[in-house]
Structure 1
Amino acid sequence: MKLSYHRTVTFIARKDHLPQCFPRMTFRILIFVLVGAFIYPLTRCDKYPEDKGSAFQLFQDWKREHNKVYRNHVIESGKFKVFQENLKLINDLNVKFQGKTTFGLNHLADMSPREFSSTVLMPKRRAPVFEKERYVRSSLSGALPDSFDWTNQSKVTAVKDQGAAGSCWAFSAIGNIEGQWAMMGKPLTNFSVEQIVDCDGMEDVPKGEADCGVFGGWPFLAYQYVMKAGGLETWEDYWYCSGLGGAPGTCEVCPAPGYNTTLCGPPIPYCNMSQSCVTKLDVNKFHPGLKVASWKAIDQNETSIAEQLIKLGPLSVALNAELLQFYHHGIFDPPTFVCDPKNLDHAVLLVGYGSEKSIFGTKDYWKIKNSWGPKWGEKGYFRILRGQGKCGINTAVTSAVLAPN
């Protein structure tokens, strides 16, 4: 299919800003070309336009779609340059992944990969190693179902957006706690992520780990904070305001009580104490009956993880998410050398698993709830290859244990 520029732009806009790529194959030969570090078949794509004029028109459409407004022309000009570079990056990714995973424009398209990593993702870290008694013992006595999904069983709340803050760890921990609450037969409830971001200054100094607000943290330490605090407010009572880019309802985040500058680095130099944990937290608004009694870890065996997902409910997991900025659809399966499983920088919520048959064969996958908004990926979710420890998805799996009531 050959399209003029005008028709190409219209086609992309109607397909949620996603170029369509199809492998070009013949019955006689499949040509492979080495480009960069990837080996991939030649493809024919309705690519995003890369020339300046066409990219600028697409940029205007993209700004309207995502309500992007910049303070001045200089900033907007810089953002357009980033946007144009990202068009090239997305086109390249779509060719390299052969249509097995597709990538497209989304609300993150005015952030360079470096800015994305430093703002939305957390500093890279190795998976923690816990004491043996923390790990849940497998009790598998029969075959697991071929697929499973908590999202259609009222155990997973709606997808949220963390914005321009490294607060994914708090979303992951809260997502797990919400699932645990629902697993007890309680009404599905949105609990406060902002309480964790504002108030959790937990640390494990011997292991060199700490919760650092908008600069990252660990779900297992978040569970310990909730244990110490004695409960959680709901999202409605203590709403999320970090990382929302100066929009109405945002906040200037103060460091949590106990913030460890050695492990976390210097806090944001200015904050509004009227919006701090000390001022906002109201223990009288803690949700009745919700208490975290302990927490557990699951070992790296992915069959064990599937077993515990079914048994315990949605699980907190972490992975290397560098290449997920423009993920749109499909089973994410990058080569290990571009997705180091030892460099974790994003925490998410494992909600299901399954298998997909396609022209590329059958692939097992995990279904993951992300915290980049419902327009990102597959309605806020993504799928990643299951069974190979892809991007470290199996290395930091944990769950809170709630007190019975």
Structure 2
Amino acid sequence: MEFINQMYSKCICLCLILIFGAWSSEATSRNLEDAAMYERYEQWMTRYGRQYSSMNEKETRFNVFKKNVAMIDSSNSDVNKPYKLSVNQFADLTTEEFKSQRTGFKGLRDTPRPTTSFKYENVSVVPSSLDWRTKGAVMPVKDQGQCGSCWAFATVGALEGALQLATGELVSMSEQELVDCDVGGENEGCMGGYPDVAFLYIIEKHGLTNEANYPYTATDNVCNTTEADSPSGSITGYEDVPVNSEQDLLKAVANQPVSVCIQAEGAFEYYSSGVLTGYCGTDLDHCVTAIGYGTTDEGIDYWLLKNSWGTEWGEEGYVRIQRNIEAVEGMCGIATSASYATV
């Protein structure tokens, strides 16, 4: 009996050793993984010049970073996806923080927008591909900074293109005038706005000044009426693209750059290259400028969009998203809120 008890005790001890050993091994593995991730985090901080006010904040940001990197790495491990993501400058932000700092479209209104005419309605033939950059109608990529002013950048991108096509001259126009001066109504500077309302402001003011006169600051300021009263380019009106029609959007983009609004979360936030496909919502929160379209060698139709997050994001500041999808709203809702200037 004593022998059996001794053997039983030895078995219990052996089991405990094995269990503790497994726990220890798992903990060591986790520690090694965290150490490698933390080193990656430190390298990322150095690259983007990130500094935090306390160790607690640094640890909090590390946990956000770790979660975002896991999503990015998981996506990139799928060889069937025709796009890649990157651990970019937004990797330490939560989705909520990112939206508040880097988007700015206030969303679709509860009541439908007033119907405008659509001058491209009867267009029947368009090029198979188009890039307005090659035709001199697109200014270099800009950066809205930590200000919810995407609506101003999308408006100005469409405006610059329309003016270039009408005059032959490409001039960088002022987003800051819209941020500072187109306020008091639906547009609220860094708190968000609507491109169509911005077009109305430009029409009523008989134009918009240029960026050299009224440079961008990424902050809400008192309107500089002196500069705002010195327009550099004017328009006669604007038109909305009919809702939920990628074909009508194609007709418009084939003729000029167009302001479009989308949902810019998840994979879009970390987009690096390729054609963004797959699930993307239609809860519109960000506006960009559609400057072209095409088809990849693999047969994927895409829209070419100019973003306002600087040249380190995406394909030097641009993104391609899938075109001609089954949903009428288009990828990320691109066909639900599009407009352009008329000159």
TM-score range, shorter chain: 0.7 to 0.9
Letter in 2 for 1:401: T
> What are the superposed Cα offsets for residues 42-91 of structure 1, whole Å, 9 maximum, x if unpaired?
xxxxxxx9922112222222222222233343333322222122111212
Change in Cα spacing, 1:95 to 1:78, as seen in structure 2 (3 Å) is: same
Q: Secondary structure at the match of 1:54?
A: helix
Would the alpha carbon gap of residues 123 and 366 (structure 1) be closer, same or farther in structure 2, given more than 3 Å must change? closer
Contact residue 350 and residue 368 of structure 1 kept, 8 A:
yes
- 1:180 matches 2:162: yes
Change (3 A) 1:58 1:284: closer
Picking from 163, 166, 174, the partner of 2:148 is 166
Counterpart secondary structure, 1:330:
strand
Q: TM-score, normalised by structure 1?
A: 0.70
Counterpart in the other structure of 1:371: 308
Q: 2: CA distance between counterparts of 1:117 and 1:340?
A: 14
Which amino acid in 1 is paired with 2:132?
W
Report the CA distance between 1:96 and its aligned residue: 5.6
Distance 1:123 1:154, change over 3 A: closer
Instruction: Indicate if the aligned counterparts of 1:173 and 1:219 stay in contact, CA closer than 8 A.
Output: yes
Letter in 2 for 1:135: F
Is the 1:157–1:190 contact (alpha carbons within 8 Å) kept by the matching residues of 2?
Answer: yes
**What amino acid sits opposite 2:313 in the alignment?**
W
1:153 corresponds to which letter in structure 2?
K
- What residue in structure 2 maps to residue 38 of structure 1? none
Matches of 2:248 and 2:238 in 1, distance apart?
17
SS in 2 for 1:352: strand
Q: Aligned pair 1:400/2:337, yes or no?
A: no
Q: 322-331 or 95-104: which moved more?
A: 95-104
Local SS of the residue matching 1:125: coil
Q: Does 1:291 align with 2:291?
A: no
Maintained 8 Å contact 1:50/1:88? no
> Distance between the aligned counterparts of 1:125 and 1:97, measured in 2?
34
Q: Distance in 1 between matches of 2:309 and 2:246?
A: 25
For structure 1, which runs of at least 5 residues remain unmatched after alignment?
1-48, 204-209, 243-250, 254-274
The alpha-carbon deviation at position 287 of structure 1 amounts to 3.8
Taking the TM superposition and a 5 Å limit, the aligned residue runs for 1:7-22 are none
Q: Distance in 1 between matches of 2:138 and 2:116?
A: 28
Give, as a single letter, the amino acid of the residue that structure 1 aligns with 2:34.
K
Report % sequence identity.
Answer: 29
Structure 1 or 2: larger helix share?
Answer: 2
Alignment of 1:39-58 (within 5 A): 51-58=33-40
SS in 2 for 1:235: coil
> Residue 346 of structure 1 aligns with which residue?
286
Q: Does 1:239 align with 2:222?
A: no
In structure 2, C-alpha distance between the alignment counterparts of 1:295 and 1:186, rounded to whole Å: 19
SS across alignment from 1:357? coil
Tell me: CA distance 1:61–1:364, structure 2 relative to 1, closer, same or farther (3 Å).
same
Tell me the amino acid that sits aligned with residue 334 of structure 2.
I
Q: 2:320 aligns with which of 383, 386, 393?
A: 383
**Residue of structure 2 equivalent to 1:30:** none
Question: Residues 136 and 297 of structure 1 are in contact (CA less than 8 Å); yes or no, is this contact kept in structure 2?
Answer: no
1:211 match: 187
**C-alpha deviation, 1:385, in angstroms:** 0.8
Contact kept? 2:106, 2:194, Cα under 8 Å: no
Alpha carbons 1:192, 1:240 under 8 Å: kept: yes
Contact 1:231 1:287 in 2 (8 A): yes
Alignment match, 2:251 = 307
* Aligned residue in 1 for 2:16: none
Q: C-alpha displacement at 1:230, in angstroms?
A: 2.9
Could you tell me how far apart the structure 1 residues matched to 2:168 and 2:89 are? Answer: 34
Partner amino acid for 1:81? N
Q: Name the aligned partner's letter for residue 285 of structure 2.
A: D
The superposition leaves residues 374-403 of structure 1 with CA deviations (integer Å, 9 ceiling, x where unpaired) of: 01011100011111211110111101123x
CA shift digits 1:22-55 (9 cap, x unpaired): xxxxxxxxxxxxxxxxxxxxxxxxxxx9922112
Structure 1 residues 284 and 238 mapped into 2: Cα distance closer, same or farther (>3 Å)? closer
Pick from 355, 368, 375 the counterpart of residue 295 of structure 2. 355
Given candidates 145, 149, 158, the residue that maps to 2:127 is 145
Cα drift, residue 366 of structure 1: 0.5
Count of aligned positions: 306
- Output the CA distance in 1 between the equivalents of 2:179 and 2:213: 15
Q: Provide the secondary structure at the position in 1 that maps to 2:68.
A: helix
Matching of residue 134 in structure 1 with residue 94 in structure 2: no
Q: What amino acid sits opposite 1:317 in the alignment?
A: V
Residue of structure 2 in register with 1:78 after alignment: 60
Deviation of 1:124 (Å)? 6.0
Runs of 4+ with >4 A deviation: none
Aligned Cα RMSD in Å?
2.2
Q: Which runs of 5+ in 2 are unaligned?
A: 1-30
User: Residue 117 and residue 233 in structure 1: after superposition, are their counterparts in 2 closer, same or farther (change >3 A)?
Assistant: same
> 2-side partners of 1:369 and 1:80: how far apart?
30
- Does 2:206 match 1:226? no
Q: Shift of residue 333 of structure 1?
A: 1.3
Q: Residues of 1 paired with 2:105 and 2:236: CA distance?
A: 29
Of 105-114 and 49-58, the range deviating more from structure 2? 49-58
Counterpart residue type for residue 123 of structure 2: L
Cα deviation for residue 97 of structure 1 reads: 7.6
Q: Which whole-Å CA distance do the structure 1 matches of 2:50 and 2:281 have between them? A: 33
TM-score, normalised by the number of residues in structure 2? 0.82
The structure in which a higher percent of residues are strand is 1
Q: What does residue 316 of structure 1 align with?
A: 259
Tell me the distance in 2 between the aligned counterparts of 1:133 and 1:232.
Answer: 22
- 1:106-146 deviation digits (Å, cap 9, x = unpaired): 1111212221123222366237733344333412243x221
Sort the Cα spacing of 1:236 and 1:92 in 2 relative to 1 into closer, same or farther, 3 A.
same
